[in-house]
Amino acid sequence: MNATPHFERIIWIVLDSVGIGELPDAADYGDVGRDTLGHVARSRPLHLPNLVRLGLANIKPLANLAPPPRPAGNFGKGATVSPGKDTTTGHWEMAGIWLDQAFPVYPHGFPPEVIGEFERRIGRRTLGNKPASGTEIIKELGEEHVRTGFPIVYTSGDSVFQIAAHEEVIPIAELYRMCEIARALLDGPNRVGRVIARPFTGAPGNFRRTERRHDYAVEPPRPMLLDVLADRKIPVFGVGKIHDIYNGRGVNDYATTKNNSDGMVKLTEALSRQSSGLIFANLVDFDMLYGHRKDVEGFARSLEEFDALLGPFLAALRASDLLLITADHGCDPDPVNPTTDHSREYVPILAYSPGTRPGGVNLGVRSTLADMGQTIAENFGAKIPHGTSFLGELR
């Protein structure tokens, strides 16, 4: 492999939940017909000039979006090999990890033996124990939580054990301690992908989640992309929940984010701070605020907001940069399907470098999300266990 990288710096942006149509095995997940981008595009005309210029509408027909005959970027879509359709599964596969079995999910809440042991270890009872929207469950149970001091435990369609607590009732350090207890407890058949601290503040009727969320992920198996980059002393800067998803492995420095707009600010700052290596970001609003809440119009506005912020970001890239834009799974907000869960979908792949002309290469259907990770690995003279690099097609 080349000792000198073809691209000096790679910026990898994951648009959380922005899938682009059902995978062939969607029926196994109850996801036939789900199509996040397709349904959002059909809901009304979208103004996405930058994404369209990079090739988004060339991946597959999208209502109201005309594909340019020669996009500036290269385009394709990726399939998930691993079973499951959650954040950890998607991000791990991008880094070269294929799972043998999906992380467990709890559509009826956690079993009594799990909750009972958790309550015994923290010395308190709990509230909730059901799948729920994070904002809705604190509306429902927040006042009782403040009165009793019992933390709120809930889950979602993702493999998560979430603990919500008012910062004035359960101090943040105690909430984090509870999450560490849960992380140690949730192993074996109950090895959830993430335990998440969900602190909030405010008064009944006006509760507000704070930015001190913290994720406790399962330790990823070795070797994965960030390990092999660390071995070669390639710097990695994480934006958003990237640091938490990989338990900090191989991440030299990171910045948390409040929302997608803040994420793009942090990404732009990272361009000034880090001149080489990998800048890896997750933008979560599409998933957290709109997909799970079945808010099609909110999803559409969020895509347009990202596209508007993408314009000046593209102008800040150097000729030696490569920008990769993708997703980790779908979360179709189409109200025709009542489920609020993630959806088993292809993800878009856009690859753009200002220094590579012309663009417009069709990268096709990639058989695993690890193809993106392998491309990054090869660029920096490394290799990960799975995936086929498309670096040669970008040159």
Residue 3 has pLDDT above 80, yes or no: no
Q: Which residues pair with 15 in a beta bridge?
A: 283
**Do 304 and 241 fall within a single domain?**
yes
- Residues paired with 11 in a beta bridge: 279, 323
Digit-coded pLDDT (tens) for 34-44: 999 999 999 99
- Give the model confidence (pLDDT) of 121-132 as tens digits: 999 999 999 999
Q: What's the pLDDT tens digit per position in 125-181?
A: 999 999 998 889 999 999 999 999 999 999 987 899 999 999 999 999 999 999 999
**Taking 50 as the threshold, does the pLDDT of residue 1 lie above it?**
no
Model confidence at 61, in pLDDT bands (50, 70, 90)? very high
Give percent of the chain above pLDDT 90.
92
CB 153 within 8 A of CB 178: no
Give the dihedral sign, CA 55/60/65/69.
positive
Asked if residue 91 and residue 66 are part of one domain, the reply reads: yes
Same-domain status, 58 and 169: no
| 170 and 63 within one domain | no
Q: Say whether both 51 and 140 belong to one domain.
A: no
Model pTM score: 0.92
Residue with tokens 């200002």: 354
Q: Is the separation of the CB atoms in 73 and 346 below 8 Å?
A: no
Picking from 166, 191, 217, the residue at the C-terminal end of a domain is 217
Query: Do 343 and 242 lie in a common domain?
Result: yes
Same domain assignment for residues 248 and 388: yes
- Shared domain for 121 and 225, answered yes or no, is no
What is the tens place of the pLDDT at every residue in 205-243? 999 999 899 999 899 999 999 999 999 999 999 999 999
Neighbours of 299 (CB within 10 A): 29
> Of 163, 196, 217, at which residue does a domain stop?
217
Q: Tell me the CA end-to-end span of the chain in Å, nearest whole number.
A: 15
Per-residue pLDDT tens over the stretch 339-394 = 888 999 999 999 999 998 778 999 999 999 999 999 999 999 999 999 999 999 99
Q: Domain holding 145: CATH number?
A: 3.30.70.1250
Note whether residue 343 is domain-resident.
yes
Domain housing 56: 9-102+220-394
Judge if 186 and 308 occupy the same domain. Answer: no
Provide the CATH number for the domain around residue 371.
Answer: 3.40.720.10
User: 213 with 225, same domain?
Assistant: no
Question: What is the CA angle 296-300-306, rounded to 5?
Answer: 140
Q: Which of 217, 251, 286 is the last residue of a domain?
A: 217
Q: How many CB atoms sit inside 10 A of residue 310's CB?
A: 20
Are 389 and 268 in a shared domain?
Answer: yes
